[in-house]
Amino acid sequence: MTGAVLETRGLEKRFVTHRPLFGTPTEVHAVNGVDLAIHEGETFAIVGESGCGKSTLARMLIGLIRPSAGQVLYQGREMSGLPQKQMRALRRDLQFIFQDPFSSLNPRMTIGRLVEEPMRAHGIGTPGERRERVGRLLARVGLRPEHADRYPHEFSGGQRQRIGIARALASGPKVLIGDEPVSALDVSIQAQVVNMLEDLKEEFGLTLVVIAHDLAVIRHMSDRVAVMYLGEVVETGPVDAVFDAPAHPYTRALMGAIPVPAPGARDSVAAILEGDVPNPTAPPPGCRFHTRCPFAVARCTRERPALADMGGGRRAACHLRDELPAFDTRAPEPGRTPGAARRFELWRTARSAGQDDRHRKTTQAEETQP
Amino acid sequence: MHAEHPRLLSVDGLSVRFRHHPANIVDDVSFTIGAGETLCIVGESGCGKSLTALALMGLLPKPAAQVAAGRAVFEGEDLVALDESRMSDIRGNRMAMIFQEPMTSLNPAFTVGDQIAEAVRRHRGVDRAAARGRAREMLEQARIPAAEKRLDEYPHQLSGGMRQRAMIAMALANDPALLIADEPTTALDVTIQAQVLRLIRQLQAERGTGLLMITHDLGVVAETADRVAVMYAGRIVEEGPVAAIFDDPQHPYTIGLMGSVPSLGRRSGRLETIPGLVPTPEAMPRGCRFSTRCPFAAAVCAETPALTEIAPGHRVACARAPIELRVAEDAA
């Protein structure tokens, strides 16, 4: 880790949701004063529930949305004010993977053209070189070079997400930002794509920023995490530290709400968070979480807590962060039963024994599919 | 298990076929649900879990899809053989369904109260005032705050979690004996999902409703199910008490599926993956439908394995089960 690749300072985004003929427009403060530093070579996760501003934040990180206030710095240079032309050049380094593999690929373009497009846009290579690179990229994401002549509708969701990843890699980016890159996929396909993203990160020396709501995927993939609630970062730090001992009551509630795939792992339902996320056009004063927080005191309703340093690279925005009772870890590690663990060992052995043979079958299976 | 749950629904050899498709999309599916019992059907997209539910509710997209074989006996009547008018008497009354997306079953043009009241009047023949009273009572039971006010609101005025609660209220308004829930919390945020799952469990326990829960989320399965049926490519490949499925998974697909799910605990290496893709109906493998992706597959898998009891109440459709034994035999 050699310093921040991407940094945000006091980043804000307000959207106007209703503009009446007279009077003041209604605004949503989608992102409200976010300071983050993403280091080179790490996987940084941003987690939160719908409406917390994580997707807006991700789009601002690559300049798809202009911030209302604050700055985004890429390699120390401020991005927010850059003219279109320089912004284009920057996009070569910063690429985006979208959540929905069905709506993010132009249905009228062949896979080959889709993957080639970023290279043409940035004037990379000759047509021949580009074609060759398309073939290599498709092979790298587990598709076949012949697939270049087909159209998106001929592929399954998992394959389309692979195409989206090949396209994101085409310009030779340094940072890949994925907005829920695996959440639309079935679990077995999700595992394939998660493993592939990890391999690609190593191979191409990428920095990954992953936006997700699935905490288990985040814990598995990332080095550091930021938890968002109603447009603000409430907690950030190394993923193991945050997951083992979450400091913010909202992080705790999130952890407590995840169903664990082991019967009886969570026997009490006492920790369930009550109520809905407040309307973001009129967020509560003080700490935005106080309306749902089981620990809230009078101070929380008045004063907005700052994201304060807790040591060990951790920060949390809670007035009571030093006074909360210890978090009782709930998931049995590694979250599965001994009986199941033995079967996985068998599975693993059988998989690696039949790897070559299996590989052939896999490609065959993918061939017959579209 | 069965002794404490008198049988409510028994499905026997249910198959669903799409026109112009060679293979059954749901193939020879059998299971039972007792009163007050929760059966979770778990599987990935296209495994036939939702079609199974729609077939039971008589809601298959006809004439494209139809039940090709099998029986589904619910309170003494075979649902598959019923005509539409009798089915309408049962649906929303003795048997109700909640869907993943509440807006697909709530009419945007009517208030929440009117829709629940309509369901009550259709099946109970009570007057408007009584039906409205019942609707309010149901919203209260679904823990919807300010129920009286919500009665006169339209679905779009409710949040996602509230809509899901309103739909649950509507489904339970006539005290059904069986509730079918198709991915009821998949579209919800985790904190809201926890609330809705708790609500379903509480209402089910209070009323002794049988629950058929369809989900892809093994976490939801572990927290709600009494018994689990794992489906793959239209067939039940493994079925048993929830503890048996998680502690002693026998079918290679069940094992692979569990290994694909990342754990909330500390990272323990790469995720397991299941190679390849789910077969399409046009290219369904002969015999065991998982055999093309199974690391344990052998020649014997070219024949369709029967769902066989391997331990009390725990059935598996795999010619290679028990897997330890077969792997040891291969090595010897």
Domain residue limits, chain A: 1-18+26-90+199-259+268-329, 94-172, 334-360
Instruction: For B284-321, write each residue's pLDDT tens digit.
Output: 898 999 999 999 999 999 999 999 999 999 999 999 98
Taking a contact as any Cβ pair under 8 Å apart, which residues of chain A between 167 and 196 contact chain B? 186-192, 194-195
Q: For chain B, what's the residue count?
A: 332
Give every CB contact of residue B227 below 8 A, 6+ residues apart in sequence: B1, B37, B38, B39, B40, B239, B240, B241, B242, B313
* Residue pointed to by tokens 């052998």: B298
Q: Do B189 and A49 touch (CB under 8 A)?
A: yes
Of A195, A210, A365, A140, nearest in space to B272 by CA: A195
Return the domain boundaries, chain B: 1-94+176-262+272-284, 104-175
Residue-level pLDDT at A328 = 67
Backbone angles phi, psi at A315, to 5 degrees: -135, 145
Strand partners, A153: none
- Rounded to a whole number of angstroms, the distance between the first and last alpha carbons of chain A is 41
Q: Which residues of A56-94 are buried (b: 16+ CB within 10 A; e: fewer)?
A: bbbbbbbbebebbebebbbeeeebbebeeeebeebbbbb
Q: Do A259 and B223 touch (CB under 8 A)?
A: yes
Of A312, A224, A230, nearest in space to A6 by CA: A224
Q: Is A321 on the interface with B (CB under 8 A)?
A: no
Instruction: For B180-221, write each residue's pLDDT tens digit.
Output: 999 998 888 888 888 889 899 989 999 999 999 999 999 899
Q: Do A334 and B277 touch (CB under 8 A)?
A: no
Of B193, B194, B272, the CB nearest to A344: B272
Instruction: Give the model's confidence band at A356: pLDDT under 50 very low, under 70 low, under 90 confident, else very high.
Output: very low
Domain B1-94+176-262+272-284 has CATH 3.40.50.300: yes
Of B191, B194, B257, the CB nearest to A187: B257
| Least Cα separation, residue B198 to chain A (angstroms) | 8
Q: Looking at the predicted complex, does its ipTM rise above 0.85?
A: no
> Are A228 and A315 within 8 A, CB to CB?
no
Instruction: For A24-67, write each residue's pLDDT tens digit.
Output: 888 888 899 999 999 999 999 999 988 889 989 999 998 888 89
Q: Is A26 on the interface with B (CB under 8 A)?
A: no
Q: Do B194 and A276 touch (CB under 8 A)?
A: no
Q: Please give the Cα distance from A354 to B295 (Å, whole number).
A: 7
Fold category of A1-18+26-90+199-259+268-329 in CATH: Rossmann fold (3.40.50)
The bridge status of strand A175-179 relative to strand A207-212 is parallel
Q: For chain A, what's the residue count?
A: 370
Q: Please give the Cα distance from B252 to A349 (Å, whole number).
A: 13
Q: Do A350 and B263 touch (CB under 8 A)?
A: no
3-state secondary structure of A42: coil
Q: Is B331 on the interface with A (CB under 8 A)?
A: no
Instruction: For A236-295, write each residue's pLDDT tens digit.
Output: 999 999 998 899 999 998 888 888 888 876 654 446 788 888 887 888 999 999 999 989
Taking a contact as any Cβ pair under 8 Å apart, which residues of chain A between 151 and 170 contact chain B? 156-159
Of A215, A266, A361, the CB nearest to B223: A266
